[in-house]
Chain A
């Protein structure tokens, strides 16, 4: 029988600094590892351990995979010390991808906080590949300080894409920052609370628009409340849930939330699925 715990050797082909503690790595697995936007992989640093990450590269590129990773602990710190040419392990993909067919013809709001924009990048790139199929793509991104912004070089390019807007904020005022200031939920201020106005004049149609949200738990909580208050359909709000994961296979139990295994039923869960939990994030 196939061994589902074996990591597939993957060579680090490139490392790019995004912020002082976030890097984007490009890996070349020795056996093909393909994924859909929204799915994740388990990355092994040999002898140190594994951690789950959602690739940040375009799912339509299959020979290599990029992952944008923040240093927060044992595996991520050990990875940060590795160099181009070193070997890591990858197994996966796991979990469910976004159903992009279902997104067609709709407005798509993409909300990222901090390194949370990384998992959303693979979604953004997949959407860009078929940009005519979607009504609008609105990327809204919050970081702590200007230095903490990831993809500094890509954001201006994304803004140039058809039907696409990019809105940004930082948490506190900063001399180098001319744009919006405030936690990421300020980027929802243009969405009116009471939808008595003509739907045509709204930035999003709350009945049909899709929201894909990824960031720290506190951000998910407030974005969730904000969108529900503004009349969004809970079936259309997709949260990337952060849970401790060991196996990624629906077996080890670490990611369990009620009867859900986040690694298998998620990692993206709708606001409707998590509604019954007192404090899901």
Chain B
């Protein structure tokens, strides 16, 4: 499935053949400072908001690197999608005879996406920017222009959140491709991997900040990576099922779905938090000089999502909608794009006010299906 279309040049895999250098923490801060001169650079920072002080999120780098910079831990609160596909964005102003799209896409560097996020971007590439499935006239300028101008500087995870399960869905807590630059935190600094030509551009002129990677650096990284892999596997042992994730057929057992949906209130938080939820709704309204059309993130859990004119609804009840969400991740995207689009980031578990754990839900429906 891979390797065709305008984004075919993106190396989704390639590590360990990629170029690697060592960079110390102070020099990394200098490098970020250099980038910030001609890019918007976002870095992970810990915030003290109510009880969320532990979850880092992106902050724009101003004149100084934020004091609470946090390059450790696991996935941030937001996914990279917020930067490529805004929660709400004007996509057309009318009446207008101008057929060109007006897109604002300043050069941006995201420091902080994790492996699960980098995999998530692939879904966006398939849906919005891929002639494998769509011809060129279906290219979405609003996502593509931002995608082209956004550099991904990913990070290895150094610890897992309770909700992380990347290893159970074919991933690892460190990316093997799909990034421009990757940073692996080690005892004495970072191993910096250059993953693309764009990454090379980011590193041009900064030879003074890096040095050769030493064997003990790599040993340290391997140890670090293995310990996180083990931690993720350990915490997910209780959710294990006999069926390999890429072979899931979750089925239409209404009782099983009703059981897992009991505490869902259709708030849509899971959709918003997810790195691979790509859905939206277009909304028109009056604006200065005419009208404008905005594109807004949408949630497949809402009752109106599948409602048709005259009152029909192909997913009239909540269990059928949660079923759709999970089957979209595990079956439909696989069948259409060759991608299982749950990357195991755990965010939908973190944000669910009904305390629904996707892993438990999955285990329940897979087990019930096996019984049937």
A residues neighboring B (CB under 8 Å): 1-7, 9, 30-31, 44, 46-51, 70, 72-73, 76, 87, 89, 216-217, 242-244, 246-247, 249-254, 256-260, 264, 278
Please tell me which stretch of B111-119, B219-227, B275-283 contacts chain A, meaning at least 4 of its Cβ atoms lie within 8 angstroms of it. B275-283
| Min distance, Cβ B140 to any Cβ of chain A, angstroms | 6
A278 to B96, CA, bound (A): 44
Q: How many residues of B contact A (CB 8 A)?
A: 55
Residues of B within 8 A of A252 (CB): 279-282, 298
Which of the listed residues B252, B286, B332 has the most CB atoms from chain A within 10 Å of its own CB? B332
A125 to B257, CA, bound (A): 46
Q: Would you give 30 A-B contacts (Cβ < 8 Å), ordered by A?
A: A1-B101, A1-B144, A2-B101, A4-B138, A4-B141, A6-B101, A7-B94, A9-B94, A9-B95, A46-B94, A46-B95, A46-B290, A46-B291, A49-B282, A49-B283, A50-B284, A51-B309, A73-B309, A217-B312, A243-B306, A244-B305, A246-B281, A247-B280, A249-B138, A249-B140, A251-B128, A258-B327, A258-B331, A259-B333, A264-B134
Given A9-B94, A76-B309, also A1-B279 (CB < 8 A): no
| Min distance, Cβ B253 to any Cβ of chain A, angstroms | 11
Selected contact of B92 from candidates A5, A49, A76, A260, CB within 8 Å: A5
Which of the listed residues B127, B284, B331 has the most CB atoms from chain A within 10 Å of its own CB? B284
Selected contact of B141 from candidates A1, A9, A278, CB within 8 Å: A1
| Min distance, Cβ A168 to any Cβ of chain B, angstroms | 22
CB of B252 within 8 A of CB of A259, answer no
Measured CB to CB, the nearest residue on chain B to A73 is B309
Measured CB to CB, the nearest residue on chain B to A247 is B282
B263-283 vs A, Cβ < 8 Å mask (1 yes, 0 no): 000000000000000111111
Residues of A within 8 A of B293 (CB): 5, 7
Residues of B within 8 A of A48 (CB): 284
B residues neighboring A (CB under 8 Å): 91-92, 94-103, 127-128, 133-134, 137-141, 144-145, 252, 278-286, 290-291, 293, 295, 298, 300, 305-310, 312, 314, 324, 327-328, 331-333, 335-336
A243 to B98, CA, bound (A): 30
Measured CB to CB, the nearest residue on chain A to B284 is A49
A30 to B97, CA, bound (A): 9
A50 to B293, CA, bound (A): 10
A250 to B98, CA, bound (A): 23
A48 to B331, CA, bound (A): 35
Given A2-B101, A2-B137, A2-B141, also A44-B284 (CB < 8 A): yes
